[in-house]
Amino acid sequence: MTNEQKRQYRNMAKTASWTMVSRITGLVRDQVTTAMFGAGHVGAAFLFAFQIPNLFRRLLGEGALTAATVPVLAAKTDEGGRPAAFAFLNYILRRMLPWMIGLTLLAIGVALGWLLLATNLENQYAAELTIWCMPYMPIICIAALFTSAVNLCGRFGLAEIASS
């Protein structure tokens, strides 16, 4: 077995191990959330509110944005090395961050409107918790973009723990 194959196997094992740790911590997080909020209206409202930023993470952070930027980052790395790739990543972040903040504020505004129009306690809880959970969205989208950049640089492991 060549050194390159050994390195690839080590990277695969590291990624698989940290992904397993991530899944276990995600399970613990879900158990703590259920213990704190219960399985009633408040728990359902929290799960709903927490899913909204995670939907944007899947669509933007780990979906279209990453799929569009990773090939360009790879090309920039081949052309000009890591400085060129990081300059491109900086360019993407400068363009992405205002949109993420604007989208977050829009979602908070919609949730505020929903809160004002809520006719029952469950909808009020869901709207309030959505307002509290939305600032998480730009952070996890940026983290997903950084994860893809770090993986492209050949660093595997700790970024995988954040996947759950």
Per residue of the chain (164 residues), what is the pLDDT tens digit? 788 888 888 878 887 888 888 889 889 988 998 898 888 888 888 888 989 988 888 887 777 777 888 888 888 888 988 888 889 989 999 998 999 999 999 999 999 999 999 888 888 999 999 999 999 999 888 888 888 788 777 766 666 666 55
Instruction: State how far the Cα of 65 lies from the Cα of 78, in Å rounded to an integer.
Output: 20
Structure tokens at 152: 């492209």
Please indicate, yes or no, if residue 5 is contained in any of the structural domains.
no
Please indicate, yes or no, if residue 58 is contained in any of the structural domains.
yes
What does the pLDDT read at residue 2? 87
pTM: 0.75
Please indicate, yes or no, if residue 102 is contained in any of the structural domains.
yes
Instruction: State how far the Cα of 26 lies from the Cα of 140, in Å rounded to an integer.
Output: 15
Please indicate, yes or no, if residue 11 is contained in any of the structural domains.
no
Please indicate, yes or no, if residue 126 is contained in any of the structural domains.
yes
Please indicate, yes or no, if residue 162 is contained in any of the structural domains.
no
Instruction: State how far the Cα of 154 lies from the Cα of 48, in Å rounded to an integer.
Output: 36
Q: How many domains does the chain have?
A: 1
CB 162 within 8 A of CB 22: yes
- Domain of 121, in residue numbers: 39-154
Please indicate, yes or no, if residue 95 is contained in any of the structural domains.
yes
Please indicate, yes or no, if residue 127 is contained in any of the structural domains.
yes
